[in-house]
Structures are given as structure tokens and as C-alpha cells.
Amino acid sequence: MAILTSAVPLARPGAAPRLLARLGARARFSTAGSAAPGRELLHTSRIPTHHFQDSLPKLPIPKLEASLLQLRYFAGAVLSKEELEELDRRIASFAVREGPRLQAELVARDQKVYSSFISKPWFNLYLSDRRPLLLNYNPQLTFKDEPSPSSQASRAARLAYSAMTFLRTLEAKVLEPDVFHTSPERSKQPWWPEVMRLLPRGVSFYGAAASGAFPLDMSQYANLFRSTRVPGAEKDFLRVSEGSCHVTVQRGGRFWAVELLDEDGATRPLEQIHGAMQAIIDAADSQPAPPDEAVGFLTSLPRDEWAALRTSLLPDNRATIDAIDSALFSISLDTEAPKTVTEVCRCFLHGSGVDRWLDKSFQLIVSANAKAAVNFEHSWGDGVAVLRFFNEVYNDSLSLPSLSTAKAPVSPPSRLDWRLTPDLKAAVTDAASRFASTIASTDLAACETDVFTSGVLKGLKLSPDGMMQMAFQLAHMRMHGSLVSTYESASTSAFKHGRTETIRSATPEALQFAATFCDPAASSSARLDAMKLAVSNHSRITRSALMGQGIDRHLFALQDLASSQGEVPPLFTCKPYSKLTRFIISTSTLASDALENGGFGPVNEDCYAVGYGIRDHGCRSLVMTYGRDSQGFAEHIEKAMVDMRSTAQKA
């Protein structure tokens, strides 16, 4: 554990205005392609970071008839006979009345821009939603523990230092482009980057694709650093600041600014960052903020409420808010020391709320026992960009020394103070109470087992992801007697400005599989056939979603277009469609050697939020609900896995 006495200096309260004044005089790190003197990069890619960006294919707009047929197909797994009959009438009417016109307008609008047809409406969906970011949007990704234990201040310093190395590599335009390699025997040969970099940007994607490599969209990285979501009346907006060199750090309800970059754009010495982190811990622990001054709670409120309160804060607190908004990112030095998997997930998903600022593009959270995570605001980006940053920073941080003694920083942290009226203090107290009430209404359970491993399932020639998804379906069938609309995230980053698409795991084949496993009279061969069909079909719909042929984004874009014209077709307002688009099981998975776990909140009061992963040694599912017996669902998942594996091994 680092030892630091109170003699380590802190900049006195009120230093924030001078900090902000200096920011205006500093130039952002040059993107000319070279690093600042004396500081290494993560790597130096032979292919410029954005080399493929101007030739990425556009996300295709599916045929109207195809999406409506698929809508009816998925509906067959979750709607009653009466609901299907009503949906059939609505689909038939839409197919000949409003649908063709809206489809033609969507196609015409898409032809005018080199972007994704879903990009703008999807941003608007996020930014117009008035619900709190807490649980509804911000997920967390937990880093693996370090091989050798370190102090909280040391780990925070090393992760922050590595984040700056990532930033430098990105802004120097030498971060390797994101590429999905389907034929690594060709595209990972030494000659490949040399050939790719010589191709003109306008055709480079197609040269890569010809060799079995598919470049991914890199546009989301522009919002990774110096970015924040600003609450507004009716709609929020994203703000990216230029030139900032600092992070904001929270501890004990107080805020500090710590400069990570010097005047030349070089990262400050690691021991200096370490000293700043320890100084903040010591200062906050000796004088934490009063409960009614923990302003971060306000970011957990419904967006219209937070927007109004932020407006009230601005006259007397503009320098502090500007420092937070413009920060490279936010760091939380949490006072909790979580141990179990559910404690860790809760700490990083929401924690006590005292030291969170949910609006920032991402928060780096380090617990008192040196566990660490990224909690990110979701409107600006998805898993691909965040996970790339996550992986690079984790791996780079392991190469840095773990410091045992903190030294006094040359540039001390600047405390950011708040001037709060009695009404604002009352608002903070109320927000804290509502935060606690929301968290208390949730329950979280973990299913950890080696019944499913990626190696075993691949050996049985069964898709690991498909088997996991079918386990969720069978669990719900056994627990509630039916299948429900299920969301699994699929990235469409293979396309220009791609975001996500829905893999609807509840299919007619999944329904037949679950019904067969619930039938005590079903034979082992019947169960095996139903399971194989459901799993292979899940692979089919996954490929379709990844290639931009899912239905949810297409139908949403048509509905959004109609809404902008003042009249929404009856298809989109009927009860069967509303039921189909209300996801009761919401799932997501990411695979990474740096990732210990991840979690997110339920998207509605009936939802089972399931963050899961499967590896060679086993699998884990974290289930969160608003009091819907998360533990029971987790137990049903494991029972489903046992039965499914047993059936497969009997073959």
C-alpha cells in the first residue's frame, strides 16, 4: 500500500478558473503522425488509423417485404394467436399503404449522404430519451485483476498513464485500424499492411476485403476523449472540447482536476500522477464532502430534471462544470472494496453514487482494493470502440511499474468547489435518496459454471453463443411458461457509421426447442434435433444481423421517418408490435483477455438484463432485474445448461 502523508501539496480551492484559463492557451496534441519527444506510442501502424474510412460500404437498407416477413416470423415465437391475427392485419395494411412511400423516402434520403441510414436517428433516440442514464444506458466493463496486487493510487495512475499513450497513438494517426480478419493466414502476413497502405483511401476497403480482411468503422473514437453528454430540455447533446490536458477525479463527494499532459502534450511522469492520486485520497478521506454537496448524484436524475438543475448551477459554478465537461475523462477513486462477482458488478455499474459523473464519455473507476473498470455513456459509442480502448490500456498498464511510495506531484491537483444554494443542496439530497431507492429495487445474481465451455461446445459442433442464448430461452420457458422478445447485440461496425442491430434469439425454432425440453415424454433424439436446429438457426440470424439484414433498425428508421412527418402508421402503435419491441430478456456479450466481467441494467421494469461470457474454462451470466427473482433465473439458466450438455453428449 502506498504511503503518503498530508504534506503532499494540493492546489488550494478556487484554482479551477486559472486551470481553465490555461487550457485555452494550449494546443491539442499534433496529429501530424509523430509522437511528442521522449514518449513512446502503443505501436506505430504502417496503415494510417483512418485509411479505410473513406471506402467503407454503406449499411444496406433491407427490402420492405423482407423485413415484414421477418417481423411475422419472429412474432410467431412470442405472440398469442389473437395477437398474431391483429399483427397480420397491420402488416398487410402497412405493406400496401404507408410502407412503400416511407421505404422510398428512406432510400432517397440515404442516397444523399455517405453515412448509415440509422446513424442520425439512433443518436437522436439516445439523446432524446428523458430517462436517467443510471441503469438504463451506462454499462460497465471490469478489468481483470493485475497479476501482482498494487494500491488504488498506483493502479489508477498506471491506467490513466496508459490511456494517454492510447490517446497519443490515436491522435498521431498511427493506431492500427480495427480490422476483422477472416483469413489471417493472408491478412496477417508482413506484406499485407505494406500493400494496404499503398492503396488509395477511396478503394482501400475493397483491397482488404479481397484478402479476407474487413476494416471496421473508426468514427466513434472521435468522442472517446474530452467528451460529455450535456443534458438539455427535451434533448441532450454531445460536446467535445479541444485542447484539455486534465482529468477530473472524484473521491468522497469532492472533485479535483489533475493534469495528465504537460504544455508540450507529453504525459506527465507516472510517479507524479501517482502522487496526485494519493494526495486526493488522503485529502478526501480527511475531509469528505457533506452529503448534500455530492453533486454527481444529479447526473442520475431524469434528463429534464438534471438539465434544469444544471442551468441553476451554472451561474456560480461555471468553472467547475467547464472543467468536468472538458476533461479528458473522469476518474472515480471509489471507497468501496468489492470482493464477490456481484459486489464487483454493482460497484462499477452504479456504486454508492457519491463519486460518479454519468455524463462523461467514460469513467475510469478504481476501487479501494485496486479493482478497476470502465463505465461509459452509451449514446456516442458501442462495444467495439470501448473494448479496443479497454484492451490496449489494460495491456499497456501491465508494462508500467507498480509504485509503492507516492511522491509529491510537481503540478498539484486543483480542487473543484461548488457554490450551492439551499435549493440545490436539497436537490442533491433528493437525488441521493432516489438513487438509493432505484438501486434497492434491483436484484443481481450470478450463474458461474463449467457446464458450458467454449472448447466443449465447439467439440460437440455447437455454437457456444447459440447454446448460451438457447439456455436463456429454456430458462424463461421453465420459469414463466413462454418465450419473450429477446435482444442480443450485434455490431454493424463493418459499415460506415454502423452501430448495432438486434439478434432476436426468440425464434420459432427456439420455441420448439424449449417446448421439447419441457416435455417429459420427449426422447433424447427429439431433444437433440430440436436443439441443433435452434442453435444453427441462431447462427443464421446472427450472420444476417451482422450483415445489416436485421429488422429492428430498419423498422425503427421507418417509424422515426413517419413520426417526423406527424403521423405514425397503425402497425407501429398496435399492441402486438409494442409487445414485440419490448425486450424482456436483454443480453450482451464481449470477449477479451482483459475483461473480467461486464454488466448493465434492465431496460424496463419487466426485463432480465443478462451480461454473459463463455471461455475455455467456463461461463458466467450476470442477471439483473427489478425484483423479478434474478437468482431464480440464474438457477434456471444453469439447469438448462446441464440438460442441454447432457443431451448433446448422449448423441
- Weakest mean pLDDT among 317-321, 348-352, 368-372, 591-595: 591-595
Length, in residues, of the chain: 651
**Longest CA span, the chain:** 77
Q: Write down the catalytic residue from 43, 50, 350, 378.
A: 378
Region 524-535: what's the mean pLDDT? 98
Who contacts 318 (Cβ-Cβ below 8 Å, separation ≥6)?
Answer: none
Neighbours of 410 (CB within 10 A): 14
pLDDT for residue 15 is more than 50? no
Under a CB-based contact definition with an 8 Å cutoff, are residues 138 and 353 in contact?
A: no
The DSSP output letter for 146 is P
Region 561-580: what's the mean pLDDT? 97
> Predicted confidence band at 473 (pLDDT cuts at 50, 70, 90)?
very high
Neighbours of 14 (CB within 10 A): 12
pLDDT for residue 34 is more than 70? no
> Predicted confidence band at 409 (pLDDT cuts at 50, 70, 90)?
confident
Per-residue pLDDT, 12? 40
Query: Percentage helix, strand, coil, to 5, in the chain?
Result: 45, 15, 40
Per-residue pLDDT, 281? 97
Which one-letter amino acid corresponds to residue 138?
Answer: N
Region 464-468: what's the mean pLDDT? 98
Under a CB-based contact definition with an 8 Å cutoff, are residues 166 and 393 in contact?
A: yes
Per-residue pLDDT, 20? 35
Strand 585-589 versus strand 608-615 pairing type: parallel
pLDDT digits (tens, 9 = 90+) for 225-272: 999 999 999 999 999 999 999 999 999 999 999 999 998 889 999 999
The answer to whether 43 is a known catalytic residue is: no
Who contacts 81 (Cβ-Cβ below 8 Å, separation ≥6)?
Answer: none
Under a CB-based contact definition with an 8 Å cutoff, are residues 256 and 415 in contact?
A: yes
Which one-letter amino acid corresponds to residue 497?
Answer: H
Q: In what order do the strands lie in the sheet with 372-376?
A: 414-416, 254-259, 246-251, 330-333, 362-366, 372-376, 140-143, 595-599
Which one-letter amino acid corresponds to residue 57?
Answer: P
Q: What is the mean pLDDT of the chain?
A: 93
